[in-house]
Amino acid sequence: MSKTEAFVKLPDRSPPGSSVGAIAWTRQNLFSSATNTLTTILFLYLFYLYLPSFLDWAIFSANISGSDRSICDANKAGACWTFIKVRFDQLLFGLYFAANPEQIWRPTAALSLFALILVPLVIEKTPHKKWLMLFLLTIYPIIFIVLVYGGFFGIPVSNTTQWGGFLLTFALAFVGIILALPLGILLALGRRSEMPIIRALSVTYIEFWRGTPLITILFMASVMLPLFFPSGVEFDKVVRAMIGITLFQSAYTAEAVRGGLQAIDKGQGEASMALGMGYWRRNIFIILPQALKISIPSIVNTFIALFKDTSLVSIIGLLDLLNMSQTASRSLDWNGYDIEGYLFAGFIFWIFCYGMSSYSQSLEKKLDTERRVE
């Protein structure tokens, strides 16, 4: 046999285009059954009816020029994004920084630093991620307080009761997340503890806070919490809201972590005990890493709910992003442009909620050690 005859060209056995790629995805997800096909056709018809008019209102006929509502009143066929442009500082940073434009660099620098830290964390091959995460959880909150609140290095103190917009939403959610997670882990461990007193206290705490609406907790934190401290000791209203949100969120985080702990086989703990590992080493190095991996969807779900529930702080007179948009659109200068304000606030909420959801899914795939190689 010659060398040319030894290398016979094999037939192409790649999968057909109908079983992989866009065609296969469309067939499996949109037209896999009669019900899915009818639903897809219905939504396509609704998009055909309403999407062109919405795009015309929101983009093609929209108003963005000018500095007052006169151009919007003259052309009411499109959205008035001029309102968002004029009130942009107020919607993002609240009344204090909108009234003091020379101080806007402070929240801008704080939020920009957060973005600069966050971007490397979501890139898979970034080196030294653990140090960036440690910096975000320990040093960044101090920088945030110094920049936004002030009182250090000659930076004037800002009135926290005039914080608002996205700045307040971010501050409440960030503090609630970084404090509720470790507290929730301790509560989950306490609920599964073999010590009756620790277990009873943990169960009482979790069930109490889970059984109380957040709006009630915020009201009690604003009105009742100062009564438990000596006279002359006052807590800032924003700090009181942070305390209430943290206590509430920690109970839900504890239940999410407990679900992961219950999914761990008892043999894991027994094997670590056989190796002579104590309670804390066993949980920190063996049990908790596996439980937290399992609990990622539930934990992130509670974080997303917390980010959206920050709008409830309006009950104690604080104006988050949603309520600031509503307040600004009902002022005398811009009364009647509520839709634009709600769409802007909804878009910001969607960006962050979708970002947390997408990152949790990528983290699940990265930590999934049971994937099959097909």
Residue 371's pLDDT is what? 53
Residue 276 · residue 250 · CB < 8 Å:
no
pLDDT tens track, the chain, 374 positions: 555 555 555 565 655 555 656 788 888 878 888 888 899 999 999 999 999 999 999 999 888 888 888 888 887 788 899 999 999 999 999 999 988 989 999 999 999 999 999 888 888 788 888 888 899 989 999 999 999 998 888 899 998 888 989 999 999 999 999 999 999 999 999 998 889 999 999 999 999 999 989 999 988 888 777 777 777 667 788 988 999 999 999 999 999 999 888 888 888 878 888 888 888 888 888 888 888 888 888 999 999 999 999 999 988 889 899 999 999 988 888 888 889 999 999 999 999 999 999 988 888 888 776 654 44
Distance CA 126, CA 30 (A): 37
pTM: 0.85
Distance CA 355, CA 209 (A): 28
Residue 19's pLDDT is what? 60
Distance CA 142, CA 41 (A): 53
Determine whether 147 is exposed, middle or buried from the number of CB atoms within 10 Å of its CB (0-12, 13-18, 19+). Answer: buried
Q: How far is CA 259 from the centre of its chain?
A: 21
Ranges of each domain in the chain: 159-367
Neighbours of 42 (CB within 10 A): 10
Domain 159-367 has CATH 1.10.3720.10: yes
Residue 9's pLDDT is what? 59
Distance CA 206, CA 210 (A): 6
Determine whether 213 is exposed, middle or buried from the number of CB atoms within 10 Å of its CB (0-12, 13-18, 19+). Answer: exposed
Distance CA 126, CA 210 (A): 38
